[in-house]
Amino acid sequence: MRLPPFQLHRPETLQEAVSLLAQHGEEARPIAGGTAMVPMMRFGFLRPEHVVSLKGIPGLDEISESDDGLRIGALTPLYRVAGSAVVRAQWPLLARAVGSVATPAIRNSGTLGGNLSYAEAASDPAPALLALEASVLLTGPEGDRTVPITGFFQGFYEADIRPGEVLVEVSIPRIPAGARWSYLRFAARSREDKPLVNVAVVATSEGVRIGLGGVSPTAIRARRAEAVLQGPGLTPQAIDEAADAAAEECDPLSDLMGTAEYRQDMVRVWLRRALTGLQ
Amino acid sequence: MNQEISLVVNGTSHTVRVGDHWTLLDLLHDALDLKGTKDGCGEGVCGACTVLVNGRAVRACLTLAAYVQGAEVVTIEGLARDDELDPVQRTFLELGAVQCGYCTPGMIMMSKALLDENPNPTRDEVREALAGNLCRCSGYTKIIDAVMAVRGAD
């Protein structure tokens, strides 16, 4: 089945991409790898007249490490993030989460920036980046803007991206030495499914940070569960209480993969497993 | 709008005119009359349209035609040399890893991508690599057997 027709623009600079998007407003959409945009267009959820490809713009697909942490260009394909020696050694939680997206051929095309801009609640990278306290850099007609990832996801498939803006880079701070982590995803039916529930945890001497996916309109930080663990630490009783608190603070939907009630139960189970199995 | 795309498919250079909204799958089927790559779900889930672009497995149904400008594409039609089947094709045939055959081109291209990167995969690695290729005849056991058998083949 052919896609509905559109005019494809292939800008060579970010400025050109931003002005095309600003010029065509609601009629225009950016595209990166295409793994989300193409199905959205094919099945009629989006019908843009203008599609602006970000893929040919140089310099947007680099991974670089500095004293502050890690920076990943938004156009970096997921397979390169998951396979990067630096990411695997220093941010193994991120490598694990990104390497869990869909299936290998999707990770060859799909990009990190595309995954986040799509704002899918059951994203693999999103809970990991929430627990890692990442931030995203956007550029648009009014210049650059940095948004903490904790404020980036705003609603069901909605991210804080203003008209004409594109996501340019993801920044991830260093993880303190001695920190422990876990990433678990539960797909009820089959490996290629989006997770029904996924859990990312970073535990440092200052506290525990928990990202949850698939169980609210967006990926979320489980702040109440984190607060429960703040005093007692990871004792068996505190872990049980944190799992209950997380199940309470999420706001799941019912769909083909599972009911809201089942998802709440699975948050309890998988957060407990994540907290008892930190690496 | 139309665009001109130059690319190499199965070792042969082509320049074709395609619509802006065409995917690589449209290009293969309708500009080059290569029908071996199958059209399945149209959303990247089933794997029937898997081809290699610059050596990496991608979904032809999700890849804009514009994205293969200057690329080297290999499809199922490009594996056999003269009358000699590729070892992956041969083991699929010998071990009965084909039932209705619709998933077979995608399965073989994905297996090819795996074996090019990792010539000695474990059974679990084969399962992981093929997780995105669905066989609705559910003939997975023999498909995995066939990929494992390539290691012993030549």
Range A115-129 average pLDDT: 97
- pLDDT for res B153: 57
Range A254-258 average pLDDT: 88
Which chain B residues are closer than 8 Å to A106 by Cβ?
44, 59, 62, 132
Pair A246, A267: CB distance under 8 Å: yes
Judged against a pLDDT cut of 80, whether residue A21 lies above it is answered with: yes
Judged against a pLDDT cut of 70, whether residue A130 lies above it is answered with: yes
**Confidence at B136, pLDDT banded by 50, 70, 90:** very high
> Per the CB < 8 Å rule, is B43 touching A42?
yes
B58 shares a domain with B18: yes
What ipTM describes this predicted complex? 0.96
B145 shares a domain with B96: yes
Portion of chain A with pLDDT greater than 90, in percent: 94
- pLDDT for res A1: 81
CB proximity A1 to B under 8 Å: yes
CB proximity B128 to A under 8 Å: yes
Of all residues in chain B, the one with the smallest CA distance to A190 is B131
Pair B20, B2: CB distance under 8 Å: yes
Q: Residues of A numbered 88-127 whose beta carbons fall under 8 angstroms of chain B's beta carbons: which are they?
A: 102-106, 108-109
Last residue of a domain, one of B78, B104, B119: B78
Model confidence over A133-162: pLDDT tens digits? 999 999 999 999 999 999 999 999 999 999
B64 Cα to chain A: minimum distance (Å): 7
B99 shares a domain with B61: no
Of all residues in chain A, the one with the smallest CA distance to B49 is A105
B103 shares a domain with B71: no
B71 shares a domain with B124: no
CATH code of the domain in which B94 resides:
1.10.150.120
Cβ of A139: how many Cβ atoms within 10 Å?
19
B153 to each of A113, B98, B110, B149, how far by Cα in Å? Answer: 41, 18, 18, 6
B74 shares a domain with B6: yes
Selected for mutation to probe chain A from B21, B37, B68, B69 (highest A CB count within 10 Å) is: B21
How far, rounded to the nearest angstrom, does the alpha carbon of residue B81 sit from its chain's CA centroid?
A: 16
CB proximity B1 to A under 8 Å: yes
- pLDDT for res B122: 96
Last residue of a domain, one of B78, B101, B135: B78
Range A198-218 average pLDDT: 97
B99 shares a domain with B68: no
- pLDDT for res B19: 97
Judged against a pLDDT cut of 60, whether residue B92 lies above it is answered with: yes
**Confidence at A256, pLDDT banded by 50, 70, 90:** confident
Which chain B residues are closer than 8 Å to A53 by Cβ?
64, 66-67
Helices and strands counted in chain B (H then E): 5, 5
Provide the β-strand partners of residue B6.
B15
CATH code of the domain in which B60 resides:
3.10.20.30
Judged against a pLDDT cut of 70, whether residue B152 lies above it is answered with: no
Q: What are phi and psi of B92, to 5 degrees?
A: -60, -45
Least confident span in B26-30, B55-59, B87-91, B148-152: B148-152
- Show the DSSP H helices in B1-139 as ranges: 24-26, 87-94, 104-117, 123-129
Model confidence over B4-42: pLDDT tens digits? 999 999 999 999 999 999 999 999 999 999 999 999 999
Last residue of a domain, one of B78, B113, B141: B78
**Confidence at A186, pLDDT banded by 50, 70, 90:** very high
> Per the CB < 8 Å rule, is B39 touching A1?
yes
Cβ of A66: how many Cβ atoms within 10 Å?
9
- pLDDT for res A192: 80
Model confidence over A30-76: pLDDT tens digits? 999 999 999 999 999 999 999 999 999 999 999 999 999 999 999 99
Q: Give the residue numbers spanning the domain of B143.
A: 87-150
Q: What are phi and psi of A178, to 5 degrees?
A: 85, -5
Q: Produce one character per residue of A172-199: b if its CB has 16 or more CB atoms within 10 Å, e if not.
A: beebeeeebbbbbbbbeeeebbbbbbbb
Domain tally, chain B: 2
B12 shares a domain with B70: yes
- pLDDT for res A231: 87
Judged against a pLDDT cut of 80, whether residue B100 lies above it is answered with: yes
Judged against a pLDDT cut of 90, whether residue A190 lies above it is answered with: no
Model confidence over A75-84: pLDDT tens digits? 999 999 999 9
B42 shares a domain with B99: no
B139 Cα to chain A: minimum distance (Å): 16
CB proximity B63 to A under 8 Å: yes
B49 shares a domain with B98: no
B67 shares a domain with B131: no
B66 shares a domain with B13: yes
For the four alpha carbons of B87, B39, A111 and A256, in that order, the dihedral sign comes to: negative
- pLDDT for res B3: 94
- pLDDT for res A10: 97
Range A97-115 average pLDDT: 97
